[in-house]
Structure 1
Amino acid sequence: MNIRRSAALVAATVVIGAVSAQASVADSVSPSASSSPKTVVPSGLYGKSDPTYDGVWRQSLAFVAQDTAGVKPAGKAVAWLSGQQCDNGGFAAFRAEPGKACDAKTPLDSNSTAAAVQALVAVGGRDGEVSKGVDWLKKNQNDDGGWGYNPGGASDANSTSVVLGALAAAGQKPADVKTGPGKSGLDALASLALPCSDGKSAGAVAYQPDKKGKLAANADATAAGVLGALGSGFAPDRGKAPDAYTCEDGKTPDDLAHNGAVYLQNQLSTHLYLKSQLAGAEDQPDYGNTADAVTAVAAAEGIKYTKDPYAWLEKNARAWAVQSGPAAYAQLIFAAHATGNDPHDFGGTDLVSALNKTGPAPASAKSADESQDKKDDKSDGGGLGTWWIVGVMFVAAVGAGFLISGRKKQQL
């Protein structure tokens, strides 16, 4: 999902912290990779831009995206992410000096922590770090069941959703993670959902209530909310087509995911993309939010309404990904994964290879041909596997009088 940070939040972010036993400062930084005189980009980090505000975030999305394509990141890349964790389990957006212990001024946040938890689950073998991260998230849950970006901050849909994905990835049941008042993150999301009676905003999720308590539709928050309600994390599998593509009254997680997806597909049906919400950019596409929306709709509703928007992304989003770096490539890979498309052939671009090239060479990676062999059919109903077809041809050749039918397990 595409987490938005306010200018005030960004300005307040500082970088101090602790080190992992598996990564030394000497191994994790490269002076030649500096993006500015004051910021050194670690050699184990994906992307070359200033990591001050998104280092952990982009590294985490990269790992989860690679996992969907059978890629194992380099050991030093995993060690860098692990080394960003504080002893209490939390993560900041980026800590330039991981050899220094975290203190009360270290700007830990729910988004970086939850993203890192999902990433460390994906790479495997990091149960200790995952457990500490989950504990930190639980300790910083708000009374309404949700999470804000910073500990103690008002709950918002994006932060709550990425935490729900982390809890599910770590083997927790999000509905059972509750505060003293008995509220879960799912309750917090439900409180931000707009009712079906709200006209064009029906089914949408608000980022937060305004000062008067009013909810306003937000496509970014809605895409995040769909995945949060599903408990799917960044890289959901394809969902099943519903009986009806209309907003349905109800407050269950399934209702929330369905209604949010209906809102998003209605937005996508107009231009095939979502427009930027930045001032002065009314007609400018928001590639990240469009990719997130495609992923969310496919996860909740299947691919019926994602084919054209996904084709639009294939045609138009490559330059954005090249400029934006690893997190952008990851978002497009998530969209390909959720819709059953091949991330090695995104309008002629190999997204997986492009992502891999933004960081240290992976420890191992499946070839494009191997991924293609496992690619599912692009229809809602799934597809018939290659070996199933070969089997049918063989049975027909020997004159057998029956066929063994089956459905291929959904994969990349």
Structure 2
Amino acid sequence: MPLRRRAATVLAAATALTALTAPAALATAPPAGLYGSGDPTYDGVWRQSYALLALHTEGVTPAASAVTWLAGQQCADGGFASYRADTAKSCAPATEDTNATGIAVQALTALGGQSAVVGKATAWLKQVQNSDGGWSYNPKGASDPDSTAVVLGAFAAAGTDPRSVRAASGKTPYDALHGFQSGCSAKTADRGAFTYPMNGKRAVNAKATADAVRASQGASFVVAAPGADAPATAPACSGSGADPYTALTPKASGTAGAAWLTAQLTAGGHHLTAVTPGADKPTPDYGTTADAVVALAAGGQQSAAKATWTWLAANSAAWAHGNPAALAQLVLAAHATGADPRHAGGADLVQQLTNLGPAPAAASAPATPSSSTAPKDHHKSGGSGATTWIIVAVVFVASVGFGILLSTRKRRQL
């Protein structure tokens, strides 16, 4: 069962416990340049990329050691693994994953000066694209919406129109995402939502929906606040004739998903919830809620995004404390609504994130990302621009007799 970026029931347990316990620390000092002191085995590249991307967006120039660490994690063939403890050793192909590679592309493209690394990484991603146009977490697996969304965002950030990234079958990443959307044949309450494949079945999932909504708008993890409020609408199902969902353009597909997402947020009091294994009632799903903010902003749903951000700013401090990926996600959610992450519910999220890594080289004006809703038609590897997030490392602490789930937004293949 894959544990990257989602599994909403496990995520909620992780986020609840994160409020009570810090991520598992390394027995030795963390590698030089790495953000966070927790064990990077499952999320090193992910959290580093997320941190660098968020800080760059807010005008913080990271230390050279932080960028060097990330670039140095690349494997010889261009892919990235979750973490390489010894970069002198060759990568086993089975350890490379599309999520680590996709987010590294976004971060290194935004920072600039890494065109060779980015070029090799995007070439690798093209090589492991599935025939349906999407990607799995590890190559050769079945496509999933989360992984496809991360990679689509990587190409968009690097200046390559995702519509031009075609499998041998001619399918694009947008084709793959659209295939996960629930249409008129689904229950009324599920229409517009995106599903996640697990154990041979597909189930409606808020995390998959948030990721797919953002990516369907052609957006990476960095989304500029929309200037106007666009309604989130979904097709009407007549009960006879062709299913209108099948003919949706990528943007219209994302807008229909946003309508479902907005309904869920409204019903939940501007946040999403999940029921953890063994629990009797749902608890807040902070990570997916932050994903939803960025997704809604990507489609122009400004009011819903701002209302959701307001809830996050007031309630997510304990969840994000000491967690580079969580803090970075909140910074980017604030950015997507035009809010100031340095004054989020009385907290300075940028400074908290900065404190978890090497001292920055300098400060500059906040970055202005390229349009998140209109991918460029030209191709390049080192342009500017830029979730996630990846979720869940499971750490069992035998010495105290219970397991602690850590919210690191990193799912592994088990």
> Contact 1:147–1:160 (CA<8 Å) still a contact in 2?
yes
**Residue of structure 1 aligned with 2:25, choices 35, 40, 44:** 35
1:4 correspondence with 2:10 = no
Give the distance between the partners of 1:329 and 1:209, measured in 2 at CA: 29
Pick the structure with greater CA Rg: 1
Query: How far 1:168 sits from its partner (Å)?
Result: 0.9
Cα RMSD after superposing both structures: 2.2
1:220 aligns with 2:222: no
Q: What is the match of residue 234 of structure 1?
A: 221
Number of corresponding residues? 337
1:210 to partner: Cα distance: 5.6
Deviations 1:215-234 (A, max 9, x none): 42111011110121122111
Matched, 1:313 2:303: no
Determine the structure 2 residue equivalent to 1:155.
Answer: 143
CA distance in 1, matches of 2:230, 2:152: 26
1:246 is aligned to 233
Structure with the higher fraction of residues in strand conformation? 2
User: Whole-Å Cα distance in 1 between the matches of residues 76 and 232 of structure 2?
Assistant: 47
Q: Is the 8 A contact 2:8 2:274 kept in 1?
A: no
Percent sequence identity is 47
Question: Which deviates more, 342-351 or 155-164?
Answer: 342-351
Q: Alpha-carbon deviation of 1:52?
A: 0.3
Mapped to 1, the partners of 2:52 and 2:93 lie a distance apart of: 29
State the TM-score, normalizing by the size of structure 2.
Answer: 0.77
TM-aligned CA distance change 1:108 to 1:357, over 3 Å: same
Cα deviations by residue, 1:63-89 (Å, 9 ceiling, x for unpaired): 111121111110000000000001100
Deviations 1:118-165 (A, max 9, x none): 010011100000000000000000011100000101100000000000
Once the two structures are superposed, the pairs formed by residues 236-385 of structure 1 within 5 Å of their partners are: 236-239=223-226, 244-248=231-235, 249=244, 250-271=247-268, 272-281=270-279, 282-323=281-322, 325-366=323-364
CA contact (8 A) 2:230 2:302 kept: no
Deviation at 1:240, TM superposition (A): 5.8
Q: What SS does the corresponding residue of 1:301 show, helix, strand or coil?
A: coil
Cα distance in 1, alignment partners of residues 37 and 87 from structure 2? 19
Give the Cα separation in 2 of the matches to 1:99 and 1:285. Answer: 42
Q: Structure 2: which 5+ residue stretches go unaligned?
A: 10-23, 236-243, 369-414
How far apart are residue 104 of structure 1 and its match?
Answer: 4.2
Match of 2:76 among 70, 79, 87: 87
CA contact under 8 A between 1:302 and 1:339: conserved in structure 2? Answer: no
Q: Which letter does structure 1 place at the counterpart of 2:145?
A: A
Residue aligning to 2:19: none
Change (3 A) 1:40 1:141: farther
Following the alignment from structure 1 to structure 2, what is the Cα–Cα distance between the partners of residues 136 and 200?
Answer: 39
Query: Which consecutive unaligned segments of at least 5 residues does structure 1 have?
Result: 8-33, 375-412
Compared CA separation, residues 255 and 240, structure 1 to 2 (3 A): farther
* 1:179-194 correspondence to structure 2 within 5 Å: 179-194=167-182
Residues 117 and 153 of structure 1: is their aligned pair in 2 closer, same or farther, counting only changes over 3 Å? same
Amino acid at match of 1:155: S
The question of whether the paired residues in 2 share the 8 Å contact of 1:241 and 1:304 is answered with no
Conserved in 2, the CA contact under 8 Å of 1:238 and 1:300?
Answer: no
What SS does the corresponding residue of 2:103 show, helix, strand or coil?
A: helix
**2:61 — aligned with what?**
72
Give the whole-Å Cα distance in 2 for the aligned partners of 1:295 and 1:170: 19
Amino acid in structure 1 at the alignment position of 2:147: S
Shift of 1:239: 3.5
Instruction: State the alpha-carbon separation in 2 of the partners of residues 200 and 40 from structure 1.
Output: 49
Quickly say closer, same or farther: Cα 1:206–1:43, change in 2 above 3 A.
Answer: same
Q: Alignment partner of 1:97: what SS?
A: coil
Q: Distance in 2 between matches of 1:356 and 1:247?
A: 41
CA distance in 2, matches of 1:156, 1:279: 23
Maintained 8 Å contact 1:261/1:301: no
What is the TM-score with the length of structure 1 in the denominator? 0.77
